Structure 1
Amino acid sequence: MYQEPIFLQPVFQERIWGGQKLNTEFSYTIPYEKTGEAWVISAHPNGPSKITNGPLKNQTLLEAWKNHGELFRKPADSEEEYPLLIKILDANDNLSVQVHPDDQYAREVANEAYGKTECWYVLSAEPDAELIIGHHAQTREELEKLIDEGQWDKLLRKVKVKAGDFVYVPSGTIHAIGKGIVILETQQSSDITYRVYDYDRTDAQGNTRELHLKEAKDVTTVPHETPRLNQSDEIDQGLTSKKLVEEKYFTVYHWGLDGKVAKTMDQDFLQVSVIEGEAKLTVHQQQFDVKKGDHFIIPATISAYQLDGAAEMIVSHT
């Protein structure tokens, strides 16, 4: 039986809006001047993470999901794809204004297994940094008119954010991450983005990026709905756990570790991203050092584990 956590190596993505903070804030060796994303726990075909330890070392998480479903309590005959994707994004410039479809639209129109509901934990933010989240249109006709006329200041809903803020972004929500923000994103394992507006930017060849206005109009929720999150705190030995969101696709926590805690597994698998500090993870008398920038999965084959140290983590499961 597999008795180790599954440590993963990030996959980096170049983006027109990316920068260098994945190196300066997380000490990652990044391959691009404009590195925008680290796919840190990914089984998506567009960037599967590589396993760095144990019996499956050098295999991808996608291969582990397909060939070792027992690690995730996946039925042997299941055709389901790995459900979640964890990223860290460095918005050195504004991301495009965009929207993602729900599962039904993704499957029927985009030939993807999942739509894209996501959520963001703000890791750092420059003073006065802001996000776009939602819109002010009250009817679909008003939405389409404002988009067609490019009345972005009238249409888009903006909010200021700081480190430690959390934002839930259901499919159908117009959104954009603003300049100067680094986030950890938990999302459905989908790579569908419909761009609504891209500030008329051009790439190195002078080309603007494609917009997807028809699809965006089709999938945007009207009027915008601000989700109510049933957040809660729980203290267990040396661990303070804040439930950030519990929804259909994922449950996400912020863990603050200050001391020791013994935990038992009651999920199919647990995804863990260390965002500050360091700790020791003990599994069946094996000890693993974990630190800021590490990402790992505790598989279903591990029944219990211990953590000891001073660290912050973002933890998620289906």
Structure 2
Amino acid sequence: MGKAGIGPIRLEPVYKKAIWAGERLKKIRGLQEDGIGICREVCAYKGSENRVEEGQFKGCRIDQVIADYRRELMGPDDSGQLVRVAYMDTREDLSIQVHPNEEQAERIGDFEKSESWYILEADPGAYITAGVNCTDKATLRNAAESGDMEQYLVRIPVKAGDFAMIPAGLVHACGKDMLALEVGSFGGITYRLYDYGRGRPLDLDKGMEILDPSLRCELVHTQEKVPGVPRPLVRHRLFSADVLDVEGVWTLDGYEGYRILCCVEGACRIIWDGEEYPLPYTKTLLIPAGCGPVEIRGNARLLMAWKV
């Protein structure tokens, strides 16, 4: 540890192939493999944990670090449930899905899965699916089974800088031709409702039971730059997020819990205890609760995520 406590933690990204993957992540990260659709940046969920990439905890799973240094890393949050962060790079529409809320997830021994999306890049005409225009679940199920569900899906146009909150129970999916950052709660249950005829199994019994056709999504538009002022994107009991534009120098201080910093535009450097941590486009750093002040230098837009 440095004199100020545990310093910033960089986790090894976990890359996952997907049939709907685009090529943005491959180009940005210089990857050799094709078909990478998901880049898991921060996750402590059982079986999906990231490992620490460098420093004193190099090679350790992040859940092990939390277990050994809970107060220093998590602050007042004693759950051990880090906010989950991942990139999605889409060439085709993702399957239509729904996630359980806290009560529903507890019945099967898991945790609520609510999430949100920040759009980094999007082609003209890009959209997300968020909600349905039919309140009758039997009608929705028949449409899913017959391959005709698209008529009931609510499509919302999006562009770079848009942010969408996707609560548990909302029927949803990222659309094609975009790069999105997903910030969400600790849970890991997904029920697939519709897959555009791609042949993967559906979870209609469980999915139809938990979906809430009354739920809707409202976008937050953040295209305007406001340097040096963190702007709230979402306040959920399981996760929060701000967007921050940095032009020059900005100091992150005065917080009790951890902060996850994701560079969603430009590039910057994080300075802590005399050490420098580069944070280029799409990269992520975990700032522990016991880290103390960190200085951010550069011209960048950061998404900051944490649990309240």
TM-score, scaled relative to structure 1: 0.87
> Residues 250-289 of structure 1 correspond to what in structure 2 (within 5 A)?
250-289=239-278
Give the match's secondary structure for 1:159.
strand
Give the match's secondary structure for 1:245.
strand
Question: Could you give the per-residue CA deviations for residues 98-143 of structure 1, whole angstroms, max 9, x where no partner exists?
Answer: 111112212213x32x121000001111111121110011344544
Structure 2 counterpart of 1:204: none
Q: Is the 8 A contact 1:239 1:259 kept in 2?
A: no
Instruction: Evaluate the alpha carbon distance shift between residue 244 and residue 97 of structure 1 in structure 2; reply closer, same or farther with a 3 A threshold.
Output: same
Q: Is the 8 A contact 1:137 1:224 kept in 2?
A: no
Q: Is the 8 A contact 2:74 2:80 kept in 1?
A: no
C-alpha distance in 2 between matches for 1:263 and 1:130: 33
Question: Could you give the per-residue CA deviations for residues 43-86 of structure 1, whole angstroms, max 9, x where no partner exists?
Answer: 1233322212321122121221222212334679x6x3424210
C-alpha distance in 1 between matches for 2:35 and 2:280: 25
Structure 1 counterpart of 2:104: 105
Give the match's secondary structure for 1:19.
coil
C-alpha distance in 2 between matches for 1:157 and 1:199: 15
Q: Is the 8 A contact 1:234 1:242 kept in 2?
A: no
Q: Is the 8 A contact 2:98 2:207 kept in 1?
A: yes
Q: What letter matches 2:50 in structure 1? A: S
Q: What letter matches 1:29 in structure 2? A: L
Give the match's secondary structure for 2:128.
strand
**Identity fraction in percent:** 23
> Residues 1-318 of structure 1 correspond to what in structure 2 (within 5 A)?
2-24=5-27, 26-29=28-31, 32-73=33-74, 80-109=79-108, 111-112=109-110, 114-201=111-198, 208-226=199-217, 239-318=228-307
RMSD after superposition: 2.4
C-alpha distance in 1 between matches for 2:193 and 2:66: 34
C-alpha distance in 1 between matches for 2:218 and 2:129: 15
TM superposition shift of 1:11 = 0.4
TM superposition shift of 1:274 = 1.2
Q: Is the 8 A contact 2:147 2:197 kept in 1?
A: no
TM superposition shift of 1:173 = 0.5
C-alpha distance in 2 between matches for 1:148 and 1:9: 39
* Count of paired positions: 303
Q: Is the 8 A contact 1:136 1:224 kept in 2?
A: no
Give the match's secondary structure for 2:189.
coil
Q: Is the 8 A contact 1:122 1:162 kept in 2?
A: yes
Instruction: Evaluate the alpha carbon distance shift between residue 149 and residue 210 of structure 1 in structure 2; reply closer, same or farther with a 3 A threshold.
Output: closer
Flag the structure with higher strand content.
Answer: 1
Question: Could you give the per-residue CA deviations for residues 138-164 of structure 1, whole angstroms, max 9, x where no partner exists?
Answer: 344544454455442331111111111
Q: Which runs of 4+ in 1 moved over 3 A?
A: 73-76, 139-151, 225-231
TM superposition shift of 1:272 = 0.7
TM-score, scaled relative to structure 2: 0.90
Question: Could you give the per-residue CA deviations for residues 184-212 of structure 1, whole angstroms, max 9, x where no partner exists?
Answer: 000112221101110111xxxxxx21100
Q: Is the 8 A contact 2:268 2:296 kept in 1?
A: yes
Runs (5+) with no aligned partner, structure 2: none
Q: Is the 8 A contact 2:43 2:82 kept in 1?
A: no
Instruction: Evaluate the alpha carbon distance shift between residue 48 and residue 22 of structure 1 in structure 2; reply closer, same or farther with a 3 A threshold.
Output: same
TM superposition shift of 1:290 = 2.2
